[in-house]
C-alpha cells in the first residue's frame, strides 16, 4: 500500500530574495508651520466661516499644534483684520531721514501695541520674516536714497527695531500687571521693603522714576538719542526731534 503523499514544504526564500517593500517615508523634515501659513489658511476659509477646528483640519494639524500659534478664534480674527496694516511704511515725500526713520518706528510700535497677539507670536518665534521683509526692504531703499549704504541702513533698522520692540514688551508687561490690579510701583516698593534701609541706596534715590512705566517705555527719547548719534557719525548737525 502506497503511503499518502505529504504536501511539499513551503519554499525557503534565498538570501538574495527581495524583502517586502517598506512603506515609503517622507524625505527630510516636515514643513514647519508658521503664523503666516496659519493666516493664509484662515483667509482661504474666510473670516465668517473660520473656526479653530476647521482651520486645524485645513492645515492638516492637531488643535494642540494650532493653539501654539494662535490662542483662540478671537486672537485669530484680530490678527486677520490687522494683517493688512502690519508695519505699513510711511510715505516717502523727501523728508529728512530722521523724520522718515521715526515714521517707520511709529509703524512698528503701533502694530505691536495695537495687536498684542503679534508681539506674542514674535516672542514665541512663530512670526517669521514674511510679514516684515517688504517693510524692511522699503526702509533700506528709502535710506539708500538718502546716502546710506545698505549696511549702514541695516544697522540703523536693527537698532531702531530693538528700541521699539523693547518698548512694546514693556508696555505689554505693564498692561498685564494692570489687568491684575497691580503696578510696577507696588512691585518695586515690595522688593525694597524686604531689604534693609541701607541697601539698594542707588535705586532708592531714583525709586519713583525707576518705577514709572512711562520712563521705561519712552522709546521716542531713546530713538532721538540713536538718531543724534547716527547724525554725528555722518558729520551732520543734530536733527530736531521729529
C-alpha dist (Å) from residue 210 to 146, 181, 186, 206: 38, 19, 12, 6
Question: Domain for residue 159, yes or no?
Answer: yes
Query: Residue 74: its pLDDT value, please?
Result: 83
In 3D space, the residue among 163, 138, 167 whose CA is nearest the CA of residue 224 turns out to be 163
Which DSSP helix (H) or strand (E) runs through 10?
A: none
**Contact predicate 122/103, CB 8 Å:** no
Biggest CA-to-CA distance, the chain:
122
Binning the chain into helix, strand and coil, the percentages to the nearest 5 are: 60, 0, 40
Question: Domain for residue 70, yes or no?
Answer: yes
Return the higher-pLDDT residue of 177 and 124. Answer: 177
In 3D space, the residue among 111, 74, 113 whose CA is nearest the CA of residue 90 turns out to be 111
Q: Give pLDDT tens digits for 164-178.
A: 999 999 999 999 999
Whether residue 55 is found in the same domain as residue 99: no
pLDDT band at 140 (very low <50, low <70, confident <90, very high): very high
Mean pLDDT over all residues of the chain? Answer: 83
Whether residue 155 is found in the same domain as residue 126: yes
Whether residue 113 is found in the same domain as residue 66: no
pLDDT band at 202 (very low <50, low <70, confident <90, very high): very high
d(CA 108, CA 98) in angstroms, rounded, equals 16
Question: Domain for residue 19, yes or no?
Answer: no
Domain of residue 209, residue span:
87-233
pTM (two decimals): 0.70
Q: Give pLDDT tens digits for 27-79.
A: 433 447 888 889 889 989 987 788 999 999 999 999 999 999 888 888 887 78
Q: Give pLDDT tens digits for 80-112.
A: 876 766 778 999 999 999 999 999 999 999 888
Question: Domain for residue 17, yes or no?
Answer: no
Nearest 5°: phi and psi at 136? -65, -40
**Contact predicate 56/63, CB 8 Å:** yes
Domain ends where: 53, 84, 115?
84
Amino acid at each position: 500500500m502506497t503511503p499518502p503523499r505529504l504536501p511539499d514544504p513551503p519554499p525557503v526564500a534565498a538570501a538574495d530574495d527581495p524583502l517586502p517593500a517598506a512603506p515609503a517615508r517622507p524625505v527630510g523634515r516636515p514643513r514647519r508651520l508658521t503664523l503666516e501659513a496659519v493666516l493664509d489658511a484662515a483667509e482661504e476659509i474666510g473670516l465668517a466661516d473660520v473656526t479653530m477646528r476647521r482651520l486645524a483640519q485645513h492645515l492638516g494639524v492637531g488643535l494642540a499644534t494650532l493653539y501654539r500659534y494662535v490662542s483662540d478664534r478671537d486672537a485669530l480674527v484680530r490678527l486677520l483684520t490687522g494683517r493688512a496694516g502690519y508695519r505699513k511704511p510711511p510715505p516717502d515725500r523727501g523728508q529728512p531721514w530722521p523724520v522718515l526713520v521715526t515714521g517707520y518706528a511709529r509703524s512698528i510700535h503701533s502694530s505691536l501695541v495695537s495687536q498684542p497677539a503679534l508681539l506674542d507670536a514674535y516672542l514665541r518665534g512663530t512670526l517669521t520674516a514674511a510679514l516684515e521683509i517688504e517693510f524692511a526692504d522699503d526702509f533700506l531703499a528709502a535710506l539708500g536714497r538718502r546716502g546710506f549704504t545698505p549696511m549702514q541702513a541695516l544697522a540703523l533698522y536693527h537698532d531702531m527695531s530693538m528700541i521699539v520692540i523693547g518698548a512694546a514688551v514693556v508696555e505689554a508687561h505693564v498692561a498685564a500687571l494692570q489687568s491684575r490690579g497691580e503696578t510696577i510701583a507696588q512691585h518695586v516698593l515690595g522688593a525694597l521693603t524686604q531689604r534693609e534701609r541701607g541697601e539698594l541706596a542707588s535705586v532708592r534715590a531714583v525709586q519713583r522714576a525707576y518705577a514709572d512705566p512711562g520712563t521705561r517705555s519712552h522709546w521716542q527719547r531713546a530713538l532721538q538719542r540713536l538718531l543724534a548719534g547716527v547724525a554725528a557719525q555722518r558729520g551732520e548737525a543734530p536733527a530736531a526731534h521729529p
